Structure 1
Amino acid sequence: MPRSFERPAAGTPLLQVRDMAVEFRTVDGTVHAVEGVDLDLAAGETLAIVGESGSGKSTTAMAVIGLLPGNGRVTQGSILFEGENLVGAPESVMRQVRGRSIGLVPQDPMSNLNPVAKIGTQVAETLLAHGLATRKDVDRRVVETLEAAGLPDAAARAKQYPHEFSGGMRQRALIAIGLACNPKLLIADEPTSALDVTVQKTILDQLDRMTSDTGTSVMLITHDLGLAAERASRVVVMHRGRIVEQGPARQILEDPQQPYTQALVKAAPSVAAVRLRPEVFRRAEKTDAAEPAAPAASAPVVVTESAARGEPDAGAAPDHIVEVEGLTKVFPVRGQKEDFVAVKDVSFSIPRGQTVAIVGESGSGKTTTARMMLRVVEPTSGTISFDGVDVSTLKGRALREFRQKVQTIFQDPYSSLNPMFTIERLIEEPLEFYRRGSSAERTKRVRQLLDDVALPASMMRRYPSELSGGQRQRVAIARALALSPELIVCDEPVSALDVLVQDQVLRLLRDLQREYGLSYLFISHDLAVVRLISDYVCVMKDGHLVEAATGEEIFTNPRDPYTRRLLASIPGNELDIAV
């Protein structure tokens, strides 16, 4: 199939998918993953495909580029790229199309970059395979390609391995590979889902610049509607393998017609963040006649010099379950004279029964702070008081009792649950370890906990692999509740979940907090989620606490320039969506 690599004029049809269906053959039978998909993508246009996991959006994109798994195939319809049908095209033709005409930026940079090959070598492979460089000039072309993707000191970076790159740098390397051949269409499959908001904005801005300069069309696969509205001109909404709605991005978000699209828009944190919903998430639950609202001066007490200007009146503060003062953690670095200061002089408090969030970019020190609170990492200096007792002094039985009162919900529900245990055993394990009740009493407790997290008792005999991501996270929450803790540390508990499941889990956490009087320390880099769940927010940067106040004050009147920069990076933060 001879191909012309001249770029079509902007606005002319580049990709036309008609009545496409994709199925997978499995041991349990045939799975109809995509059915009746019709979409168009014009030259120079950015099209976003949104939906939950399993909606068929990534399958649609992989069908276009001919990278379906071995058990998958397009069973009907056509995929016209520049008027030529790619369905059934020989592999020799598809190899020419991939990279040269259609580029790909996959989701997870760590699993999509070869860990034993240098970054420059992986970029060079693409250039050499398509005849865009020779052995003599490939090194120069690699440096130019990495520079175009926004990597500083590209010549040195080309000689490094993926593990020596940060997440944002690895994503830039993937973008460099995807755009190395100057393709006419770039498929970006969740290109920034694992990145902090500021890094995400930097990557997407760089991608926008590169594609607009070359006139490249973009198919953006995402579950973030705020991101889709901000970066795409049109949006396609998929649900259970079918397109349920499509149209101009702003129109889809401002006036969604289908119930599923309406539910997506309502649940999306990045969109909801611009219309703070206190009646749903905090204040409405705390303003019953029998329960007065918390006093306005009840923000966490912050005593670091950088946040002193926002320090509230400690005399009016409510009962604090946790008080952190002057917390510092220094890690020695082998082969270097200077040690690494991960956390420096951090102080804050957690009011009993409320939620305090620590936000910041990767490397800001938020997770290290949480680990010190859990006694997983020993602080270099400073104090952590839990119920008035210095945690650093606890040993033996006292430490065991402390660890029953403080539990954790981890980020990834796939790796935090033992795949060899049934759901019953996973939840029962902490009860058995601490010798809580008889076997029958523990089974009864497991049933109660499953009911608390809205899961049926019939799931007790299942294994984690038989559950969805949202169900697994509910199991993780049930396990954290097993010992009736007073404080739960939530370490990015919804970052691996789709927007609708995020919304369900956040509501569940709120309901459990109200029912059991739980206190939460919420660790997150997603400010949109933080705004929906938190009473108070502490902002960290480079190990320092730069600002702390009520959530409403942080989001409506941020004082520190870094906080303002974080807020400005939330996808869709300029949208005015009312649902």
Structure 2
Amino acid sequence: MARSNERLAAGAPLLQVRDLAVEFRTVDGTVSAVEGVDLDLAAGETLAIVGESGSGKSTSAMAVIGLLPGNGRVTQGSILFEGEDLVGAPESVLRTIRGRSIGLVPQDPMSNLNPVAKIGSQIAETLLAHGLATRKNVDQRVVETLAAAGLPDAAERAKQYPHEFSGGMRQRALIAIGLACDPKLLIADEPTSALDVTVQKTILDQLDRMTGERGTAVMLITHDLGLAAERASRVVVMNRGRIVEQGPARQILEDPQQPYTQALVKAAPSVAAVRLRPEVFRRPDAAAQPGIASAPAGDTAPRAAEVPDAAAEASTPDHIVEVEGLTKTYKVRGSKEDFVAVNDVSFAIPRGETVAIVGESGSGKTTTARMMLKVIEPTSGVIRFDGQDVAALKGRDLKQFRQRVQPIFQDPYSSLNPMFSIERIISEPLEFYKRGSAKERAARVRQLLDDVALPQTMLRRYPSELSGGQRQRVAIARALALSPDMIVCDEPVSALDVLVQDQVLTLLRDLQREYGLSYLFISHDLAVVRLISDYVCVMKDGALVEAASSEEIFTNPRDPYTRRLLASIPGNELDIAV
């Protein structure tokens, strides 16, 4: 396709989609995924398509670039790109357009980069395929492309493999590949969904700069409404394969007209939102004795967590967990210096309440959670659970600890055995610890399904047959099976869209109220933390830089790093309707 706009009428959009319908053939028959979609995208414009999982947003984008799965097909409508209809176009034409005229940044950088090919060779392949480099100058072009995407030491990075890159670096590599051929349109499908807020902001700023300089139009697929409002000029809202509302970004999100859009906006976590607070188990003295000290007024030094001394512990039995001087170091091959993953961290968790640990990737928050679960042992420091030193637990005491402290992991698919039915997954801990008879265990499993609002018909299904939100509910049910006192939640909603995320957070709140659960909540999403936490610990490079009540952290952050985290949240300054 020619790179000029000669075939475009004056003022015509770069991309015009009219009455688009897509269906998939399955063993159960034909499924309609997209129906009657109309949208326009002008040259240089950024358009965001938002909606929950299964709404058809990614399917619509893949139809544009001709990358539907083998069982999918466009059944009606037109897709005009630079005035040429791509529906029914020969594969040879589509191959020319992909990369050269329409670039793609897919969602998961690890699964979309070839793990056995160097990063540089993967970019070189794109440049050579479209005749934008020769064998003689391709290496230089690769370095220039990586440098433009913001990767430092681009010449060295080009020689590395994807597993040697961090998540943010892999995402930059995908952006480099997507923009390598200077396309007129870039489709970015959830380009930063798995990244922490500061890395996300850096990458999006880089993407904005690169597309702005080149005049590239962007179709941004996302479930993050704040990101859509901040980065796009227009927003399209999809539900069940149809567009329910579209218009200027701020207008759509500050004054949504359709009930579905209103529900999306209401469900979106915001740092301005109030805590989803379970009132029943909030003790009157808990707020006054949270185990996390605040700095005096006017004190700008980092606030640190404090653990009560023995006398205070005897008079204030509110803390189910006390962590003091926790440190974890690792030996580094080929280096004389150890790597300090967690450095002298202290905090306490009040009984029946939620303490969140937040920070960027590599801050040490997940390592802290693993030590709390006794999955790894600390190098030094003490973790006390109900007054007992966790490191000293053995035999019967350790077995009891394992039952009283349960985890909920980030990925609800990989943490569930795909070969087990839902019934077996939930009943497994009951069987392992020999809780009750077979009949009593079956009744307990049915009760747990009710507790997490799943129908009894789920019992015979397998994880692959469930949605992401349903799988996470199963993971929560399994964690509740042994009636624990505390649950360690490691990024439990980061992979979910806003409506499902809201449902899971509300479920966690209700379960805390019903059972008096204590939560250690690990997250990089501060807006989610604002909704779920009573107290917040902020970690950076393994150290605790600030710790206080949730209200104090979000209304009066004192450490520059905390302020930078809050400022990086997409849509933080928008007046989003609630």
Normalised by the shorter chain, which TM-score bucket?
over 0.9
SS at match of 1:99: coil
Residue of structure 2 equivalent to 1:536: 535
Q: Distance in 2 between matches of 1:563 and 1:317?
A: 30
Residue of structure 2 equivalent to 1:144: 144
Q: Distance in 2 between matches of 1:478 and 1:209?
A: 45
Q: Distance in 1 between matches of 2:427 and 2:100?
A: 54
Residue of structure 1 equivalent to 2:273: 276
Whether the aligned pair in 2 keeps the contact of 1:37 and 1:242 (CA below 8 Å) is: yes
Q: Distance in 2 between matches of 1:244 and 1:516?
A: 39
1:301 Cα offset (Å):
3.2
Q: Distance in 2 between matches of 1:447 and 1:296?
A: 36
SS at match of 2:111: helix
Letter in 1 for 2:176: A
Whether the aligned pair in 1 keeps the contact of 2:307 and 2:347 (CA below 8 Å) is: no
Whether the aligned pair in 2 keeps the contact of 1:342 and 1:543 (CA below 8 Å) is: yes
Letter in 2 for 1:455: L
1:303 Cα offset (Å):
11
Residues 37-95 of structure 1, C-alpha deviations (whole Å, 9 max, x = no match): 00000011000000111110000000000111111111111000111111111111111
Unaligned runs of 5+ in 1: none
Whether the aligned pair in 1 keeps the contact of 2:265 and 2:577 (CA below 8 Å) is: no
Q: Distance in 2 between matches of 1:307 and 1:328?
A: 21
Say if 1:122 and 1:9 are closer, same or farther in 2 by CA, change over 3 A.
farther
Q: Distance in 1 between matches of 2:402 and 2:152?
A: 44
Whether the aligned pair in 2 keeps the contact of 1:306 and 1:546 (CA below 8 Å) is: no
Unaligned runs of 5+ in 2: none
Letter in 1 for 2:208: D
The residue correspondences of 1:96-115 to structure 2 (distance < 5 A) are 96-115=96-115
Say if 1:195 and 1:308 are closer, same or farther in 2 by CA, change over 3 A.
closer
Q: Distance in 1 between matches of 2:65 and 2:136?
A: 31
Whether the aligned pair in 2 keeps the contact of 1:9 and 1:43 (CA below 8 Å) is: no
1:9 Cα offset (Å):
11
Picking from 268, 288, 292, the partner of 1:301 is 292
Residues 348-367 of structure 1, C-alpha deviations (whole Å, 9 max, x = no match): 00000000000011110000
Q: Distance in 2 between matches of 1:179 and 1:302?
A: 49
Q: Distance in 1 between matches of 2:209 and 2:282?
A: 53
The residue correspondences of 1:131-530 to structure 2 (distance < 5 A) are 131-269=131-269, 272-273=270-271, 275-278=272-275, 281-282=276-277, 285-286=278-279, 293=284, 296-301=287-292, 309=303, 319-530=318-529
Whether the aligned pair in 1 keeps the contact of 2:286 and 2:318 (CA below 8 Å) is: no
Whether the aligned pair in 2 keeps the contact of 1:14 and 1:42 (CA below 8 Å) is: yes
Residues 199-228 of structure 1, C-alpha deviations (whole Å, 9 max, x = no match): 000000000000000100000000011100
Residue of structure 1 equivalent to 2:546: 547
Say if 1:538 and 1:133 are closer, same or farther in 2 by CA, change over 3 A.
same
Q: Distance in 2 between matches of 1:323 and 1:291?
A: 18
Whether the aligned pair in 1 keeps the contact of 2:366 and 2:490 (CA below 8 Å) is: yes
1:313 Cα offset (Å):
9.8
Say if 1:136 and 1:519 are closer, same or farther in 2 by CA, change over 3 A.
same
The farther-off stretch of 87-96 and 10-19 is 10-19
SS at match of 1:431: helix
Q: Distance in 2 between matches of 1:88 and 1:502?
A: 38
Whether the aligned pair in 1 keeps the contact of 2:374 and 2:390 (CA below 8 Å) is: yes
The residue correspondences of 1:80-95 to structure 2 (distance < 5 A) are 80-95=80-95
Q: Distance in 1 between matches of 2:489 and 2:151?
A: 33
SS at match of 1:200: helix
Q: Distance in 1 between matches of 2:409 and 2:45?
A: 39
Q: Distance in 2 between matches of 1:576 and 1:350?
A: 33
Residues 167-189 of structure 1, C-alpha deviations (whole Å, 9 max, x = no match): 00000000000000100000000
Whether the aligned pair in 2 keeps the contact of 1:58 and 1:189 (CA below 8 Å) is: yes
Letter in 1 for 2:259: P
1:5 Cα offset (Å):
3.9
Letter in 2 for 1:209: R
Whether the aligned pair in 1 keeps the contact of 2:123 and 2:180 (CA below 8 Å) is: yes
Residue of structure 2 equivalent to 1:64: 64
Whether the aligned pair in 2 keeps the contact of 1:300 and 1:536 (CA below 8 Å) is: no
The farther-off stretch of 103-112 and 446-455 is 446-455
Q: Distance in 2 between matches of 1:310 and 1:370?
A: 18
Say if 1:6 and 1:143 are closer, same or farther in 2 by CA, change over 3 A.
farther
SS at match of 1:558: coil
1:277 Cα offset (Å):
2.2
1:448 Cα offset (Å):
1.0
Letter in 2 for 1:299: P
Residue of structure 1 equivalent to 2:17: 17
SS at match of 1:78: strand
SS at match of 2:14: strand
Alignment identity in percent? Answer: 83
The farther-off stretch of 461-470 and 252-261 is 461-470
Whether the aligned pair in 2 keeps the contact of 1:47 and 1:236 (CA below 8 Å) is: yes
1:575 Cα offset (Å):
0.5
The farther-off stretch of 459-468 and 385-394 is 459-468
Q: Distance in 1 between matches of 2:533 and 2:189?
A: 30
Letter in 2 for 1:400: K
Q: Distance in 2 between matches of 1:306 and 1:372?
A: 30
Residue of structure 2 equivalent to 1:557: 556
Q: Distance in 1 between matches of 2:150 and 2:379?
A: 37
The farther-off stretch of 479-488 and 306-315 is 306-315
Q: Distance in 1 between matches of 2:442 and 2:46?
A: 53
The residue correspondences of 1:25-40 to structure 2 (distance < 5 A) are 25-40=25-40
SS at match of 1:298: coil
Letter in 2 for 1:504: Q
Say if 1:93 and 1:560 are closer, same or farther in 2 by CA, change over 3 A.
same
Say if 1:366 and 1:9 are closer, same or farther in 2 by CA, change over 3 A.
farther
Structure 1 vs Structure 2 CA RMSD: 2.0
1:310 Cα offset (Å):
5.4
Q: Distance in 1 between matches of 2:211 and 2:364?
A: 35
Tell me the number of residue pairs that the alignment of Structure 1 and Structure 2 aligns: 569
Whether the aligned pair in 2 keeps the contact of 1:26 and 1:71 (CA below 8 Å) is: yes
Q: Distance in 1 between matches of 2:282 and 2:325?
A: 34
Q: Distance in 2 between matches of 1:308 and 1:239?
A: 45
Q: Distance in 1 between matches of 2:380 and 2:305?
A: 22
Q: Distance in 1 between matches of 2:250 and 2:520?
A: 35
1:458 Cα offset (Å):
2.3
SS at match of 2:58: helix
Say if 1:48 and 1:293 are closer, same or farther in 2 by CA, change over 3 A.
farther
Letter in 2 for 1:241: G
1:298 Cα offset (Å):
3.0
Q: Distance in 2 between matches of 1:162 and 1:317?
A: 50
Q: Distance in 1 between matches of 2:381 and 2:268?
A: 38
1:26 Cα offset (Å):
1.6
TM-score, reference length from structure 2: 0.95
1:317 Cα offset (Å):
6.5
Whether the aligned pair in 1 keeps the contact of 2:300 and 2:558 (CA below 8 Å) is: no
Q: Distance in 2 between matches of 1:291 and 1:168?
A: 39
1:293 Cα offset (Å):
4.7
Letter in 1 for 2:397: A
